[in-house]
Amino acid sequence: MYMSDQRFFDLAIKAVAHQATDGERAELDALLSREPGLRAEFARLQADVRLAKDVLPLVNATQPAAADLPAYARGRLQSKVRETLGRPETSAPSATDEQRRMMWRWRWLLGLAAAAAAIALVVVLWQAPVPVIQVAMLDTAGASRGSDAKELAALQQTWNKAVVDSFSSTESARAWETNWAGGSRKAVVKILYDRPAGELRVLGRWKGKTFAKTFVVEQDFASALNQAKQYIQEQTSR
């Protein structure tokens, strides 16, 4: 019977793993000479050990462990979810009608209450340090269309202190997204308008923490820009 004798198993497995002492090796050799039928079992055991060494790392890797999903990967993966499984109403709380209405209400209030706006401005100016804002646009179709220029202008207008980079390849845009020159401690916010995917991705590092959010650009680019701006303000005022 396969591996029926525990003593034989212990001797054989130690020999296969090169852990047998001289005495154990001699005992195994004697056993194999006395019972030649065990040689087949020994060979089978060697094959089992090869199999175990092959599959155990894979099984171990599947066990729960800790590793942080990179912020840049999140936007890309969420794009895949939207492309593949659609865009449910409940999945993007920032884009619900209710929140849009709320945002407009706030704008009116801010417009009417000049004093409140002045206070808000003081608060904004007071905040230090201010994150470095980097803005870019990806358009794999090239920059020949008129709407490109409008969107670039809108990006520039929204973040008027930033230089807006323009990319025509996904690889270049991705390299830009993942390049955090200055280390993880530097406060940086990256805003990438991924035109083919129809989304505005925000990635940031602020006070040692990372944040990321994707804003779907449906019809209204300006609305997505406002949402992104508001989100950045929320994240960097903490």
Partner 1 sequence: MNLRALQAGDADAWDAAFRWLWPVVLAVAQLKLQPFFPNEAEDVAIESLEELVPKVRAVKTVEELRPLAASIAHHRAVSLLRERFARKRGAGKTESLEAVQAESGADCPDPGADSPLAELEQRELAQRISQSLAELKPPLGEVLSDFFLHGLRYEEIARKHGLAVGSVGVYLKRGLEAIRRIWGRNGE
In whole angstroms, how close is the CB of 111 to partner 1 at the nearest point? Answer: 32
- For residue 27, the minimal CB distance to partner 1 (Å) is 14
Q: CB-wise, 54 or 98, nearer to partner 1?
A: 54
* Closer residue to partner 1 in complex, CB, 94/230: 94
Given the complex with partner 1, which of 113 and 234 has the nearer CB atom?
234
Binding residues vs partner 1 (CB under 8 A):
2-3, 6, 9-10, 13-14, 17, 19, 45, 48-49, 51-70, 73-74, 76-78, 80-82, 84-88, 90-92
Please state at what angle helix 170-178 crosses helix 71-85, rounded to 10 degrees.
140
Query: Alpha-carbon torsion 115, 120, 121, 126, what sign?
Result: positive
Q: Which residues of 55-64 are buried (b: 16+ CB within 10 A; e: fewer)?
A: eeeeeeeeee
Minimum Å distance from CB 66 to partner 1? 6
- Closest separation in Å from C-beta 231 to partner 1: 14
Question: Within 86-237, where are the H helices?
Answer: 97-112, 114-126, 146-158, 170-178, 221-236
Q: What minimum distance in Å lies between the beta carbon of 83 and partner 1?
A: 8
**Considering all CA atoms of the chain, what is the largest pairwise distance in Å, rounded to the nearest integer?**
100
User: In the complex with partner 1, which residue's Cβ is closer, 72 or 206?
Assistant: 72
Alpha-carbon torsion (38, 43, 44, 49), positive or negative: positive
Query: Please, which residue, 143 or 234, has the CB nearer to partner 1?
Result: 234
Comparing CB distances to partner 1, the nearer of 4 and 144 is 4
Q: What's the closest the beta carbon of residue 101 comes to partner 1, in angstroms?
A: 21
Task: Please name the residue that has the structure tokens 């099984």.
Answer: 59
Find the helix packing angle between 38-61 and 22-34, rounded to 10°: 130
- Those residues whose C-beta lies under 8 Å from the C-beta of residue 96, and which sit 6 or more positions away, are 89
